[in-house]
Chain A
Amino acid sequence: MDRFVAIMSAGVAQGAIFALVALGIVLLQNATGVINFAQGDLMTLGAYVGFWWVVVQGHSQWFMFIVVLVALFLAGVLLERVGYAPLRKRDPLVVVMSTFALGLAIRAGIVLWQGADPRSLPSPFGTRTLSVGGAEIPYQSVLTVVVTLVVALSLYLLFQHSPIGRQVRALATDREAALFQGVRAGLLAPMIFGLSAALAGLAGVLIAPQISLTSTLGFGLLLGAFAAVLLGGERLGGVAFAAVLIAVVQALLGGYVSPNLTDAYPFLILVVVLAIRPQGLVRMISGVRY
């Protein structure tokens, strides 16, 4: 039983991380139609910025969150200016290539900045754990889940009840009509890129204390996040739920069936979803069958 609790809590925490990354992806996709292949690397960047702030510079752990959010927001805006704005009129696949390339550039930049050796970022709670049902759950996991819930709720409120949210939803439903109505996509894009990057950075800094920090940290999670996006039907609520579901299933299968194949499960889910419902789950556009 205690094993079950441990596995479940690890799964939920991991799901929270997936959810943050996936929410960033969905947000961006809804607002701009772009799927950001650098999202995972932005997460890594967030983790490294946190590491730099706390370990290298020796500053406060709690202030780290603010620093990371701001830094990643700026990184997102930069990404938009460099990797998206010049390519707006081109094929979406070209944008995919450019974000993928920029992701590699970020990874390489991180290696140049902090070296390729694995690093570690201590948790603000140290190694304290919470005892639940006989299992020891790290405070960091609890923090992760709490923060994610708060963020998810804020996002929900933001998007249901604010002008920005309305604009994003309009763009997502019918892009052309929204543009005709005067939604300023040009102003919105950098902001949403920034927000999306900040979410990724937050995820990075939340998960970093529980694993070792390498430059490929986030990239490995990218496809898992995509799986959540597709399974969740590209809507904010569905995606968050799907993210947790995937992570929990992954944790359970990893814990009870085969630990070696844990990282394959999100990929398998992705493959299955794309094979069965190529347009994604909820959005079913009646297209030309040929």
Chain B
Amino acid sequence: MSVTDLLQRTRLRPGVPDGVPATPPLRGRQYPFLGLVVLVGLFAPAIMGGSDYDTGVLTTVIIHAVLTLGLFWCFSLGGLFTFATYGVYAAGAYTSIWAANHLGGFWSGLVAATLIGAVLGALITVLFARCSMVYFAIATMACGALLVILFREWTSFTGGFSGQADIKLPSLFGYQLDTYVKRYYLMFAVLALLLLLTIFFLRSPAARDLQLAKGNGPVAAVIGLHPKRAQSAAFIVGCAIQGIAGSLYAHNTSYISLEAFHIDIALLVLLMLLLGGVSSIYGPLIGAALLIYLPEYLRDIQKYSDLVYGVAVLVVVVAFPKGIAGVRGSIQKRINHA
């Protein structure tokens, strides 16, 4: 329900002239798109072929979409680029496993993962708030590396490189989600909920203030907003979401090892965001779908995938700064200038 609908439904107060136009729906049709996504998501397992493998790929898409949504919050909304994604992802995964085993099942794991993500995000922003963008990125790189080293050494908690297999399956009101398909629907529901929360945020004055804070920090400060606080808040949410992704990843497999958490994930997620559209809420999902499915269909060139990723980021950054969601605009501009 947009502000337009609300305004139109509740009738303006008497005395306000008709000339005051209603707010338009915000740029992009976010609620209808969410509806579309939910619809497609409900039927996706059937569409992609019903096998465990196909559903597994679908689930990987969902998990990466969540991870990229986290980066969206940190970077697209908060203006702070983070290389620490893989570290927070790992933290979420391991914390979730531990909490599920010691506190009470998958759901406490999910909550714990969210919390640990938020805590790590808060720690990073508090420590490095005063850094410029590039130094902040370097700092997050160091944090990611430190986290992985921590997990490497703390083998009692994580199992290090030899891995851990004692992972609780998620269950809903006692109903165990023991098949890929059931878990897929759970994860999809989590993604949909996160998207809804993101849309709620975007349709609020807080999002506007954040945009000003991100783009014109000193001006926002003089106006009386607190730009750094707003950016930090978005960053913390982003990290919490990355933690959630970790939890989803962990409880979907029967074995987890440190090898899965490598800095190249940060690059992969960046590429997903760039390809899908840096400033669009559609971005994470489109990007994740593209980058997970493309190698599936182009199986022969899979060994070139890293090389392609590296070059692709460069190409996208140079030629399509707004990603696929902005391609129409980019192409139009090019045509106009030609």
A and B, direct touch (CB closer than 8 Å): yes
Task: Determine the residue in chain A with the shortest Cβ distance to B306.
Answer: A108
Given contacts A275-B127, A275-B128, whether A223 and B317 have CB atoms under 8 Å apart is no
Task: Determine the residue in chain A with the shortest Cβ distance to B305.
Answer: A108
On whether the beta carbons of A108 and B307 are closer than 8 Å, the reply is yes
Given contacts A94-B317, A97-B317, A290-B228, whether A104 and B306 have CB atoms under 8 Å apart is yes
Could you say which residues of chain A place their CB within 8 Å of the CB of B309?
101, 104-105, 108
Mostly, the A contact residues are helix
A105 to B307, CA, bound (A): 4
Q: How close is B139's CB to chain A, nearest CB, in angstroms?
A: 5
> Residue A267 at the B interface, CB < 8 A?
yes
Interface residues of A in 243-288 (CB under 8 A from B): 260-261, 263-264, 267-268, 270-271, 274-275, 278-280, 288
Could you say which residues of chain A place their CB within 8 Å of the CB of B305?
108
Given contacts A101-B311, A102-B314, whether A271 and B270 have CB atoms under 8 Å apart is no
> Residue A21 at the B interface, CB < 8 A?
no
A227 to B228, CA, bound (A): 25
- The stretch among B142-150, B190-198, B282-290 that forms the contact with chain A is B142-150
Q: How close is B316's CB to chain A, nearest CB, in angstroms?
A: 9
Chain A 205-231 interface 0/1 with B at a Cβ cutoff of 8 Å (1 = within):
000000000000001000100110010
Task: Determine the residue in chain A with the shortest Cβ distance to B266.
Answer: A100
Chain B 128-154 interface 0/1 with A at a Cβ cutoff of 8 Å (1 = within):
111111110111011101100100010
Could you say which residues of chain A place their CB within 8 Å of the CB of B271?
101
Task: Determine the residue in chain B with the shortest Cβ distance to A275.
Answer: B127
On whether the beta carbons of B138 and A270 are closer than 8 Å, the reply is yes
A274 to B311, CA, bound (A): 30
> Residue B217 at the A interface, CB < 8 A?
yes
A263 to B318, CA, bound (A): 34
Could you say which residues of chain A place their CB within 8 Å of the CB of B47?
none
> Residue A92 at the B interface, CB < 8 A?
yes
Could you say which residues of chain B place their CB within 8 Å of the CB of A223?
138, 141-142, 145
Task: Give the number of chain B interface residues (Cβ < 8 Å).
Answer: 45
On whether the beta carbons of B307 and A290 are closer than 8 Å, the reply is no
On whether the beta carbons of A93 and B137 are closer than 8 Å, the reply is yes
Given contacts A82-B314, A274-B131, whether A93 and B81 have CB atoms under 8 Å apart is yes
> Residue B331 at the A interface, CB < 8 A?
no
Interface residues of A in 77-114 (CB under 8 A from B): 82-83, 86-87, 90-94, 96-98, 100-109, 111-112
Interface residues of B in 129-183 (CB under 8 A from A): 129-135, 137-139, 141-143, 145-146, 149, 153
On whether the beta carbons of A102 and B310 are closer than 8 Å, the reply is yes
Q: How close is B189's CB to chain A, nearest CB, in angstroms?
A: 32
Task: Determine the residue in chain A with the shortest Cβ distance to B227.
Answer: A290
Task: Give the number of chain A interface residues (Cβ < 8 Å).
Answer: 45
On whether the beta carbons of A261 and B267 are closer than 8 Å, the reply is no
Task: Determine the residue in chain B with the shortest Cβ distance to A103.
Answer: B310
A223 to B145, CA, bound (A): 9
Could you say which residues of chain A place their CB within 8 Å of the CB of B129?
278
A23 to B188, CA, bound (A): 48
> Residue B37 at the A interface, CB < 8 A?
no
Task: Give the most central of B127, B128, B135, B311: most A CB within 10 Å.
Answer: B135
> Residue B221 at the A interface, CB < 8 A?
yes
On whether the beta carbons of A271 and B146 are closer than 8 Å, the reply is yes
> Residue A35 at the B interface, CB < 8 A?
yes
Could you say which residues of chain B place their CB within 8 Å of the CB of A82?
314
Q: Which of B139, B143, B146, B314 contacts A101 (CB 8 A)?
A: B314
> Residue B313 at the A interface, CB < 8 A?
yes
Could you say which residues of chain A place their CB within 8 Å of the CB of B130?
278-279
Q: How close is A50's CB to chain B, nearest CB, in angstroms?
A: 22
A27 to B226, CA, bound (A): 36
Task: Give the most central of B263, B271, B306: most A CB within 10 Å.
Answer: B306
A102 to B318, CA, bound (A): 13
On whether the beta carbons of A92 and B133 are closer than 8 Å, the reply is yes
Could you say which residues of chain B place their CB within 8 Å of the CB of A96?
81, 134, 137
On whether the beta carbons of B138 and A35 are closer than 8 Å, the reply is yes
> Residue B54 at the A interface, CB < 8 A?
no
8 A-B pairs closest in CB distance: A105-B310, A101-B313, A108-B306, A290-B221, A108-B307, A104-B310, A278-B130, A278-B131
Interface residues of A (CB under 8 A from B): 35, 82-83, 86-87, 90-94, 96-98, 100-109, 111-112, 219, 223, 226-227, 230, 260-261, 263-264, 267-268, 270-271, 274-275, 278-280, 288, 290
Further contacts, 11 of them, CB under 8 A, given A104-B309, A227-B142, A290-B221: A98-B313, A101-B313, A103-B310, A108-B310, A230-B135, A263-B149, A267-B149, A271-B139, A278-B135, A279-B132, A279-B135
Interface residues of B (CB under 8 A from A): 81, 127-135, 137-139, 141-143, 145-146, 149, 153, 217-218, 221, 226-228, 263-264, 267, 270-271, 303-307, 309-314, 317-318, 321
Query: Can you name 24 A-B residue pairings with CB atoms under 8 Å?
Result: A35-B138, A83-B314, A87-B318, A96-B134, A97-B270, A100-B313, A101-B309, A101-B314, A102-B311, A104-B267, A105-B309, A107-B306, A107-B310, A112-B304, A112-B307, A227-B142, A264-B146, A267-B145, A268-B146, A270-B139, A271-B142, A274-B128, A274-B138, A279-B130
